[in-house]
Amino acid sequence: MNKTIRRAAAFCLLLAFAVLLRATWVQAVQARALADSSDNRRKVIAQYARPLGDIIVAGEPVTGSRRTESGDLAYARTYTDGELYAPVTGYSSQVYGATQLEGVYQDVLDGTDTRLKNPADVLTGKETEPGDVLTTIDPAVQKAGTEALGSKKGAAVALDPATGAVLGMVNTPGYDPGRITGGSAADTRAWRELTEGEDKPMLNRALRQTYPPGSAFKLVVAAAALEDGLYGSVAEPTRSPDPYTLPGSSKVLTNENPSAPCENASIRTGLQYSCNNVFAKMAVDLGQDKVKAMAEKFGFNTDKMDIPVRAATSVYPSDMDRAQTALSGIGQFDVTATPLQMAMVTAALANGGELAAPHMVDRVTDGDGNTLEDHSGPETSRVVSSGTAEQLRDAMVTVVERGTGSNARIGGTEVGGKTGTAQNGVDNSRTPYAWFVSYAKADDGKQVAVAVVVEDSDAARSEVSGNGLAAPIARKMMEAALT
């Protein structure tokens, strides 16, 4: 064999070895990544080759699957009362992927989760039946919140204080996920409509949008003051000049009601009339570190809050000067919170000072109904003492019975709450946010905690208030939960 042939043979052998090495690398190392790639059409075909498992509300599926009329995707997702439950289910689309519970539990719902397979199925590659996701949502609470919010832009969350179960999660304006499940031209038009407008109906404001909580945050500051011993009870007078000048500043902090008895008011009176001077001064007296520590006990500054959908981080800031600390005491400056977070504050107070971890999935089951995950046993943490919680509940009842939260009253039922009106935009140039956070307790001991934020409404700016806009929504949800 001459030299040229030997060299050609060696080169061909090298090429063959390179091809084998590349094939081995793809099959052994990159196989999973390629299989999971969004560009892999085979994955989508397999996912929609049969009906998906369902998301269940109160024993009834609110999702389904329909046989498609053409194309290589055999089935498409369907929704019952899609707009009502979209903040919970999210969507599962042949083109745009999946969100919310549809996304978190995609492997369970399409049957590829390894927990659905027994050892024999794993060895043989046998297809398994999809599983189901059973939620904690109460249809009556969900419907009451959606109807009460109506055309307003906002969100609301209702929790069971004892278990942390999410009874209602409402977001307006809403959308019907059934409009974007397929790949037709109509689905494409619907997607553009939902994603290009200013209203952002697909944004889950209850979980993923943070707002300045305004005066609703005064509950956190009051809890810090009682736990620290700065004040011994909600009836003790505070050291709160009115008007109050922010430390190191010439800015004078005023109260919404100039005739309210806010000078040196007690915590009870300060909550009843929503006295800014009381809680701004209280935050300065405590110092930002103590207020921050209490806020974090309630859940602020938690980076990974999964219920199981991940919530945005509610923030109590650091490195503030004394004037900024004062403003943080009334839920302004850089304090931000989701409606879920503020519902957690009132839920902990309603539950004797213990916070049950919020969750909106009760169980996950396989195709035969066997439990894969069980979230019914609450995980709790102590936030404040039972005595502090009892005092603040009593003060919140005063807010509803004789203060700024009168529109939340439910005849014959113990209701406590706190209003909030938070500045929006530079120098409060935009319509303020209206908050109401509350709890209600029935004679049989059943309880519910609710937080409502109204981001925008048809009300005139002068009529925007937590009591006027948000409290009636909270009342409707509380009534539905207790009955």
> Catalytic residues, which ones?
215
Helices marked H in 29-99: 31-36, 41-47, 82-89
Q: How far apart are CA 380 and CA 162, in angstroms?
A: 9
Query: Can you state the angle between helices 386-402 and 339-350, rounded to 10 degrees?
Result: 110
Q: How far apart are CA 433 and CA 420, in angstroms?
A: 8
Q: How far apart are CA 384 and CA 8, in angstroms?
A: 80
Do residues 384 and 353 make contact, with C-beta atoms less than 8 angstroms apart? yes
Q: How far apart are CA 327 and CA 195, in angstroms?
A: 35
Quote the tokens at residue 159. Answer: 């929790």
Among candidate residues 309, 335, 99, 296, the one with its CA nearest the CA of residue 195: 99
Strands lying side by side in the sheet with 166-172 = 166-172, 153-159, 447-456, 433-441, 414-422
Burial pattern 270-286, b for ≥16 Cβ within 10 A else e, equals: bbbbbbbbbbbbbbbbb
Torsion of CA 132, 136, 140, 144, to 10 degrees: -110
Handedness of CA 30, 31, 36, 39 (dihedral sign): positive
Handedness of CA 224, 230, 232, 233 (dihedral sign): negative
Cβ neighbours, 10 Å, residue 6 = 10
Handedness of CA 256, 260, 261, 263 (dihedral sign): positive
Distance in Å from the first CA to the final CA of the chain: 95
Q: How far apart are CA 308 and CA 358, in angstroms?
A: 9
- The gap from C-alpha 71 to its chain's centroid, in whole angstroms, comes to 37
Among candidate residues 320, 315, 233, 329, the one with its CA nearest the CA of residue 275: 329
Among candidate residues 295, 292, 266, the one with its CA nearest the CA of residue 279: 266
Quote the tokens at residue 218. Answer: 């005064």
